[in-house]
Amino acid sequence: MVECRHSHTHSLYATYLRNRIVGALRASPDGGVQQASFAISQNFIFEHPTLDELAHALSGLVSGLTQT
């Protein structure tokens, strides 16, 4: 289990990871996936601190917006 705890190093890593996720979503040719990037809060990584939670949250977010 990989966890992100609040510290300067982890905050920088969380910001980097969030920006990579947002960039990947915005680069998608699917408009619904692009829209999902706007729902990623600044605290998204800390709100979903394990890889499993992060993957589940992203999957739910993207599938919820692309099934409309």
State the pLDDT confidence band at 65, using cuts at 50, 70 and 90.
Answer: low
Q: State pLDDT tens for residues 1-58.
A: 455 555 667 889 999 999 999 999 999 999 989 999 999 999 999 999 999 999 999 9
- Other Cβ atoms less than 10 A from the Cβ of 65: the count is 19
Nearest Cα to 42, choosing from 62, 61, 14, 65? Answer: 14
21-34 tens-digit pLDDT: 999 999 999 998 99
